Amino acid sequence: MPESWVNSAESLGADLHLELTGPGSRRAALIRALRDAVRSGRLAPGTRLPPYRSLAADLGLARNTVADAYAELVAEGWLSARQGSGTRVAPRAQPLTPARSPGARTPVSRPAHNLLQGQPDAASFPRTAWLAAARRALTAAPHDAFGPGDPRGRPELRRALADYLARTRGVRTDPERLVICSGFAHALRLLLPAVLPGPLAVESYGLPFHRRLLATAGIPTHPLALDEHGADPAQLASSTEPKAVLLTPAHQFPLGVPMHPQRRAEVINWARETGGYVLEDDYDGEFRYDRKPVGALQGLDPERVLHIGSVSKSLSPALRLGWMALPDRLVEAVLAAKGEREAWAGVTDQLTLAEFLTHGAYDRHIRRMRRRYRRRRDQLVDAVTAHAPHLTVTGIAAGLHAVLQLPDGSGEPDERAALRAARRQGLALDGLSAYHHPEATMPPRHGLVVGYATPSDSAFPGALEALCRALPPGE
């Protein structure tokens, strides 16, 4: 059995694992193991190795054996030794680049400008305020916060969210009916099919990722028609199949229209009459620019609407924090679906977000980002209007993206050509038809979905210039 060694805690070198195998003496095996570790890159240049005595004791070798092995590798140039600095991997010892197999992929170069939708400006994450909130939250946290907790999530966060959602979105809930999750996709996985078995009515435009998630869970989806008033619930009344509907009523994704008040009332009436449920995706409810924000649909009937939100657009998707405001009768079923603690969101981030909300830092961040994103939206609209007035810019009253609709009569080839032109300019963005439900009866529209939040302030002007160069010319 090959001998191995893992550096002990009291050793002065870095942890490493060595296997002494192959023919020859123990000294030769040690030299071979060290040389292979350096050659492969497992021991990076500058890594400090354990002292002779530590390595000899752990491997059961004579100290002189280790000293001789080190000396030979120093002489070969694999290692370097200096008085008072110990033995280290030589700076010039670089790992060999493995030969590329015939079927290996060539790395794809990253686009120069990221205009994909749904991503906030990562450079604007409020690091200083978040760090200050984390320090306050951890200092004040009770000891039980770091033990087994409530599957609903930390009570500090649920209380803060209940207050915030009531104040800013008109959500009617209490901390006991809020369940913390890691985002909207996690909420769907918890709800479907364990709590709501489906089938599910959805808008005829939406995220392909969500459709794939539902298909994997075995949930059939029935697309609802969309127009300038949002999703049309008339098809719900004429169908006996769907017992739940997924909507983006404040700002339809990706077309950007709000759901008309009459239709909001109609979908609530449908849910009450049939015993159905409405899943409300409030994905960017904070970012409305031109008029008062549209309140949450959940406020009309908290027992029939499941309000789902997250911080992925407002702060960062890296935080993996979201929430569900649930009807009382569904809470226990969701907690059962949530299961063991491995799927729960991290406690420290929950405590920090609670502090961030309670002391107003979240509101300040939202106001700052709302001004910044509105300025970018205006710059985008001005640039498109100047360079391509034949394109219609829609969905701009709220959110982090706009839709540049191609002229009437344009088809999928025109959209593909526009996307190819964008790629040539180093732009990453999506075509509108990619969001169209494949079973929708309404024909797909064609255009470009442009996210204006992701680039930094310094990079955004260059991204706009590249976009304008890629836009199709008018007739």
Total-model pTM: 0.80
d(CA 12, CA 15): 9
39 confidence band (pLDDT: 50, 70, 90):
confident
Strands 322-325 and 305-310: antiparallel
Q: Which two tokens stand for residue 468?
A: 């304008």
Phi, psi of 11 (to 5 degrees): -70, 150
pLDDT in tens, 127-157: 999 999 999 999 999 999 998 888 999 999 9
3 confidence band (pLDDT: 50, 70, 90):
low
pLDDT in tens, 267-279: 999 999 999 999 9
d(CA 85, CA 82): 5
Closest CA to 413 of 390, 431, 387: 431
Of the two residues 64 and 21, the one the predictor is more confident about is 64
3-state SS assignment for residue 316: coil
Mean pLDDT of the residues in the chain: 89
pLDDT in tens, 231-251: 999 988 777 688 899 999 999
465 confidence band (pLDDT: 50, 70, 90):
very high
- The answer to whether 388 and 471 have CB atoms below 8 angstroms apart is yes
d(CA 133, CA 136): 5
Closest CA to 394 of 253, 287, 213: 253
Exposure of 434 by Cβ count < 10 A (0-12 exposed, 13-18 middle, 19+ buried)? middle
Domains of the chain (ranges; CATH) run: 3-89 (1.10.10.10), 126-360 (3.40.640.10), 364-470 (3.90.1150.10)
Phi, psi of 255 (to 5 degrees): -70, -25
3-state SS assignment for residue 51: coil
pLDDT in tens, 329-345: 999 999 999 987 666 78
Closest CA to 259 of 225, 306, 219: 225
Query: If you compute the radius of gyration of the chain from its CA atoms, what whole number of angstroms results?
Result: 29
Mean pLDDT of 50-76: 86
Exposure of 275 by Cβ count < 10 A (0-12 exposed, 13-18 middle, 19+ buried)? exposed
Least confident of 32-36, 205-209, 370-374: 32-36
Q: How confident is the model at residue 14, as a pLDDT?
A: 52
Alpha-carbon distances, residue 7 vs 63, 94, 389 (angstroms): 16, 23, 67
452 confidence band (pLDDT: 50, 70, 90):
very high
Closest CA to 59 of 81, 37, 27: 27
Residue 290 has pLDDT above 90, yes or no: no
Residue 363 has pLDDT above 70, yes or no: yes
Mean pLDDT of 365-369: 96
Q: How confident is the model at residue 7, as a pLDDT?
A: 45
Distance of CA 438 to the CA centre of its chain: 25
Mean pLDDT of 404-424: 91
Residues 6+ apart with CB under 8 A from 354: 137, 154, 156, 157, 159, 160, 161
Closest CA to 373 of 383, 365, 385: 365
- The answer to whether 235 and 440 have CB atoms below 8 angstroms apart is no
Q: How confident is the model at residue 475, as a pLDDT?
A: 66
Say which DSSP state 436 is in.
Answer: B
